[in-house]
A and B are shown apart, each in its own frame.
Chain A
Amino acid sequence: MLAFTIRRLVQAILVMLVVALISFTLFRFVGDPVNQMVGVETTPEQREALRERLGLNDPMLTQFGRFIINAAQFDFGTSYQFRQPVAELIGRRLPATLELSIVSAIFALFVGIPMGVYTGLHRDSILSKLFLSISLIGISLPTFFIGILLIFLFSVTLQWLPSFGRGDVVQLGWWSTGLLTWGGIKALILPAITLGLFQMTLIMRLVRSEMLEVIRTDYIKFARARGLRQRSVNFRHALKNTLVPVITITGLQLGSIIAFAIITETVFQWPGMGLLFLQSVQNVDIPIMAAYLMLIAFLFVTINLIVDLLYFQVDPRLRAERATH
């Protein structure tokens, strides 16, 4: 178990190094950073001085080493357009994106799993067919369209929920949260549903098909033949056996929820990292793009690590066999 964790950590670090290399090359090859920083009237001497000061004349390897050391300390340089440290900019935007992503992941799990179990157990009921039809909509409609649809329905027509922004935010140290105020929660509902709908339908369909497999197995028949309670058979014995693929998909999807929050954030003008990233792309703000790349890679790697460790929790067959036999 420990050896496995260490092996996984080493792999994770390797992945991060590769990503660092890619985002470092962004600096080198996407335009000249000096051009981005100075005005038109700067003299070549001043440019050269700046170049020297930024260390751009050092050998490649030195620069890459410096980039990694800085990145490990969350120092990604200064944004070209905002003239502020990138880490600070992202740090300010991170809570908004993380809150949105986690809430929509929770929504996807807590709605998707019960719906999947239900449709798996009652294949032919009308409600199951309704769920499946809804899930088809969730899978086939593009996210931005669902967002606009929800805004039209709940913000414009019914006027129940705000259509943009985070609402009222409370500052907890460096973390700004919208979960503590009614206005903040109301502002979170629509974007969270928009972002989570696709994942929800995915999880629902996954749990459904796994459930259909599992309830056919001998151990479920045997559990029934032992007269165990229906709820225990369905939710203890069957559901647990569907969890390994669900954990895999949820882990991967959580990563992509965070990474692809960009679209939802744009539709709802959500002040998160996605919006910041879009702005930086428009302005060729390479430090922000590089830092965003690193951050997303870091999140993916971390989530995958957690997923791998969760497998061990769920499935005893993966745990190292000790002295029993």
Chain B
Amino acid sequence: MTQPPLLSVKDLRVEFPTRRGILTAIDGISFDLREGEVLGVVGESGAGKSITGTAVIGLLEPPGRIAGGEIRLKGERIDNLSQPAMRKLRGKRIGMVFQDPLTSLNPLFTIGDQIIETILTHLPVSEREARDRAVALLEEVGIPAAGQRLNAYPHQFSGGMRQRVVIALALCAEPELVIADEPTTALDVSVQAQIIRLLQRVCRDHGTAVMLITHDMGVIAETADRVAVMYSGRIAEIGPVRDVIKSPSHPYTIGLMGAIPSLTGDHERLTQIPGSMPRLDSIPAGCAFNPRCSLVMDRCRSERPQLIAAGESQAACWKLLETERAAG
């Protein structure tokens, strides 16, 4: 029997009960993440990328809740763990990097305090060892004079440097998985590439798998092994990065790729997808993309498509079934 994947999400549903009814933010998504793999999760704002990440690490803000499906870490269910058990898992086995490094560090504690506290919470080491480990980590993420900077406060660092500290914090207890939620969005363009490369390098060195949430296709192309394209709380297409980028199958992914300017290519007009993503309270029946899709059929308006194999990747589109049938 093969080893269970590091992270396995099956039919995950996340709901937000509101006064005007239940909003389904994540509607039955499934994906696997192997050890050491980098999975990119892309989509527009509101597609449910971040909520997927927070659901995996068990930090959904009430009233949000997991309403169905399961999340397994190395085969063990973690979506129904008690709060204290989940707390022990956070930081220790699943780390998280947040979007804005300017606000994700506590301004009143030195970065040394924050790293050492995290290490001591999860690992059975002495305070001295924790301190040495913190220095080593800071050096690893490229902070000069790490020993001294341990006593510095977050406001004494630049944005890029702070994000390095945040990465060190996420990795300080050697987690098996890091969820990076838009780790470069809040940074200067010039620093973005550095941070992404750093995250990639450090995770590869530690054998840490990464769930990289972003809306930047360029970052995904450069970093990820596989990519999941999300739309309206569902996965539209998932597969190896090369396949998805070179030969996208889902009309939404095709539209997304057409909207990326290229420097080398012929100067074609960039395509744009008409309309905008539906609000959570007005997701159409059938395929959520059907009002914006140029290839829409009757079936798309009534029946929700499941993921269908398309080459090495899978996409949720009825058209694929037709081409398959036509070919077969």
B90 at the interface (CB under 8 A from A): yes
B152 at the interface (CB under 8 A from A): yes
- Bits for B55-66, please: 1 = Cβ < 8 Å to A, else 0: 001010000000
A317 CB contacts on chain B under 8 angstroms? 107, 153, 155
Contact of B106 among A241, A314, A321 (CB under 8 A): A241
Min C-beta distance of B278 to chain A, whole Å: 27
A229 at the interface (CB under 8 A from B): yes
B247 at the interface (CB under 8 A from A): no
Segment of B41-49, B116-124, B318-326 engaged in the interface with chain A:
B116-124
How long is the Cα–Cα vector from A17 to B90 in the complex, in angstroms? 59
Min C-beta distance of A317 to chain B, whole Å: 5
A218 near B89 (CB under 8 angstroms)?
no
B98 near A228 (CB under 8 angstroms)?
no
A220 CB contacts on chain B under 8 angstroms? 106
B59 near A225 (CB under 8 angstroms)?
yes
A218-B98, A321-B156 are known contacts. Are A227 and B122 too (CB-CB below 8 A)? yes
B166 at the interface (CB under 8 A from A): yes
Min C-beta distance of A239 to chain B, whole Å: 10
Contact of B96 among A217, A219, A225 (CB under 8 A): A225
B148 CB contacts on chain A under 8 angstroms? 324
A224 near B107 (CB under 8 angstroms)?
no
A28 at the interface (CB under 8 A from B): no
How long is the Cα–Cα vector from A285 to B108 in the complex, in angstroms? 50
A240 near B121 (CB under 8 angstroms)?
no
A219-B105, A222-B105 are known contacts. Are A228 and B121 too (CB-CB below 8 A)? yes
A237 at the interface (CB under 8 A from B): yes
> B93: nearest residue on chain A (CB-CB)?
A227
B104 near A241 (CB under 8 angstroms)?
no
Q: Specify which of A219, A316, A325 lies most central, judged by the most chain B CB atoms within 10 Å of its CB.
A: A219
> B53: nearest residue on chain A (CB-CB)?
A225
Contact of B91 among A225, A315, A316, A321 (CB under 8 A): A225
How long is the Cα–Cα vector from A237 to B169 in the complex, in angstroms? 15
A129 at the interface (CB under 8 A from B): no
**Size category of the binding interface on chain A:** 20 to 34
B121 CB contacts on chain A under 8 angstroms? 226-229, 232
**Size category of the binding interface on chain B:** 35 or more
A223 CB contacts on chain B under 8 angstroms? 106
A324 near B107 (CB under 8 angstroms)?
no
B112 CB contacts on chain A under 8 angstroms? none
Q: Specify which of A220, A316, A317 lies most central, judged by the most chain B CB atoms within 10 Å of its CB.
A: A316
A224 near B59 (CB under 8 angstroms)?
yes
- Bits for B78-115, please: 1 = Cβ < 8 Å to A, else 0: 00000000011111100110111001111111100000
B117 near A228 (CB under 8 angstroms)?
yes
How long is the Cα–Cα vector from A232 to B59 in the complex, in angstroms? 17
A219 CB contacts on chain B under 8 angstroms? 103-107
A232 near B105 (CB under 8 angstroms)?
no
A225 CB contacts on chain B under 8 angstroms? 57, 59, 90-91, 95-96, 98, 170
A317-B153, A317-B155, A324-B152 are known contacts. Are A224 and B90 too (CB-CB below 8 A)? yes
A230 at the interface (CB under 8 A from B): yes
A237 CB contacts on chain B under 8 angstroms? 106, 109
Min C-beta distance of B91 to chain A, whole Å: 3
Contact of B87 among A229, A314, A315, A321 (CB under 8 A): A229
